[in-house]
Chains A and B, each alone.
Chain A
Amino acid sequence: MAIWTIAKTTVGEAMRKKVLNVCLIVALAMIVLSLSFTQLGFRQDMTVVKALGLFVIMLAGFIISVLMSISLIPTEIERRTIYTILSKPVSRVEFLLGKYLGGIITLFINIALMGTVFIVTVAIKAKLTAVQLGSIHGMQVGEEVIKPQLFDPSLALGVVLIYLQFVVLAAVVMLFSTFLTPTVNFFASSAFYVVGSAANVWRTMYMNEKASVFVKVFYWFISTFVANFDRYSVQNKLIHPEEVASMPAYVAAILAYSILYCILTMLVAVLCFYRKEV
């Protein structure tokens, strides 16, 4: 109950942050502007619109996720709103989880909005292309070529996976915010994301038989404890689905990984926050 009450208030506060709203508006504008790519061939144009859209959602999701999450706890302490909340019958665990829940709901609203605009943009692009192809090869040919592009469920799946990776990142940022200042947290979280996005590189280096013990231990640590954001890089897989043997199994594995990683991260965050002086 307290978790939900705090989460609702967190969403109300976060949705009013100008910096996040500006980021969202710029991202939406970039997605819509991708319609202007008409210089290449039909398939290349569609690929550019899809790849650019997913990239913009990912970039905006990253910025919103980090900027929002780094301030969720410190702002409450700085503005002293936390005093009147923690002096009520609210445990520190409920407070922390409520802030996190509010954060990922805000993230959901932002990414869902970008995702919807993205999917609509792709459909519009397909329709415009159909008209162009129809004028050259006849309307029937145009309709047949673009039919699979009008609504592509794999794009929605791509947006969901982008959301999942930032749910994980938000948990990490929340953990860092229990003991780091917002500025340090920004750089630490960004570094964490970059390192996590190159997880497969670290794994390859770890598997290299010629690597020293020190290198192996270092890379084992990184590949074990840093979230593997590389798993969520599905742009190529979505644009070329033939590369993935079983998409449902792939998505289920990512979902399970995300939930487990978030639970463990928030568990450590709770332990850090439990004795934090505010």
Chain B
Amino acid sequence: MADAIEIQGLTKRFKNPLGGPITAVDNLTLSVKSGEIFGFLGPNGAGKTTTIKILLGLLFPTDGKATVLGKPPGDIDIKNKISYLPESPYFYEHMTARELLGFYADLFKIKGVERKNRIDNLLDQVGLTQAADKPLRQYSKGMLQRAGLAQALLNDPELVFLDEPTSGLDPIAHADICNVILDLKTQGKTVFVSSHQLSDIEMIGDRVAILVGGKLAMVGEVKELLATDQIEVTASDVSDEIGKNIEPLADEFELHAGKMTAFVKGTDSLNKVVGMLVNSGASILTVNPRRRTLEKLFVDTVRGGR
């Protein structure tokens, strides 16, 4: 599948009147495949928003290059196929959501019946139909985020940039926005999402990149990055004697009131543990590959990168 975004050796330095230049993005190289949800992670100040702004043509790189849908950032033709939801979006407060979408539809040159239908459908999709004719100054943060998402979907984009799309939202709005992102993937769209909500990315992301201090610390498929070679075995009615026999075979072992949790590595150890449990009459509850959380991976990566 073709790459939606290609970044090679991208570097961005900002002038600093009080000292030397500040490097926000440092020799970043990565690619985003078409049709995937790509999580762009990193602590505050890691260079995520700077990278997105370079990809949108709002900032210019100091060094390196990037292409978006095969064209340089800022290309007018490409802007018809991409969209952007900034972090904590601000819009013209005197407008209603319907007028706001009308304004952006005009910028996309979407006219007539198509304009009206798209606006109505999007207001419905993001749950703003009831509030569509209220001025945006009366909107809550969650409602503004929904309006922002609607403007980002107005042109039926091939590639969507979302910067912190779920930050500060209530659980309902949060779930709704995650569902919209998953819908985009179903429709074959590429979603480039920067977020601190790691559980969201773990749930919906195909691949992630972790940026630390402007440098790429890690990139890969979520499944692969979170997978380990350990297998978690849980059982009940485990006697202390069997527990003592199993403990040396496990990397991590815990036995309390007959309930056991053991993490073992390799099929030999697993077979021995399962055999001992079956022969002793214990009940095996689960046998699952152990999976790290994205949060753990993120924390380890960021701390390791510092």
Please report A residues at the B interface, Cβ cutoff 8 Å: 1-2, 5-6, 9, 12-13, 16, 79-91, 275, 277-278
Task: Identify the 7 closest CB pairs spanning chains A and B, nearest first.
Answer: A87-B84, A5-B106, A89-B79, A88-B107, A79-B90, A87-B56, A83-B86
**Which residue of chain B has the shortest Cβ distance to A95 in the bound complex?**
B107
When distances are taken between beta carbons in the complex, the residues of chain A under 8 Å from B109 are: 1, 89
Interface readout for B64-82 with A: 1 if CB under 8 Å, 0 if not?
Answer: 0000000000001101101
B residues near A81, Cβ cutoff 8 Å = 90-92
Shortest beta-carbon distance from A249 to chain B in Å: 41
Interface of chain B residues 21 through 79 with chain A (CB within 8 A): 53, 56-60, 76-77, 79
B145 at the interface (CB under 8 A from A): no
Considering only CB atoms and an 8 Å cut-off, how many residues of chain B contact the other chain?
A: 31
Contacts A/B (CB < 8 Å), 5 sampled: A12-B95, A83-B58, A84-B104, A87-B57, A87-B83
Number of A-B contacts (CB under 8 A): 72
Are B59 and A86 in contact, CB atoms less than 8 angstroms apart?
no
**What's the Cα separation between A2 and B80 when bound, in Å?**
13
Bound together, the chains give a CA A1 to CA B161 distance in angstroms of 25
Task: Please give me the residue from chain A that is nearest to B94 by CB atom.
Answer: A16
The verdict on A277 contacting B59 (CB below 8 Å), with A81-B92, A84-B151, A85-B107 known, is yes
Chain A residues whose CB sits within 8 angstroms of the CB of B80 once the complex forms: 89
The answer to whether B92 and A13 touch across the interface, beta carbons within 8 angstroms, is yes
Shortest distance in angstroms between B149's beta carbon and chain A's nearest beta carbon? 11
Which of B57, B58, B84, B107 lies in contact with A5, CB distance below 8 A? Answer: B107
Residue of B nearest to A1 (CB): B109
> In the complex, which residues of chain B have a beta carbon less than 8 angstroms from the beta carbon of A5?
103, 106-107
Residues on A with beta carbons closer than 8 Å to the beta carbon of B59: 277-278
Mask, B82-125, CB within 8 Å of A = 1, is: 11111001111011000000011011110000000000000000
Which residues of B have CB within 8 Å of A90? Answer: 79, 107
Q: Which residue of B lies closest to A86 (CB)?
A: B58
- The reply to whether B60 and A277 form a contact with Cβ atoms under 8 Å apart is yes
Q: A5 — nearest CB in chain B belongs to which residue?
A: B106
Min CB distance A91 to B, Å, is 6
Partner of B76, one of A1, A85, A89: A89
Most buried by B among A9, A12, A13, A87: A87
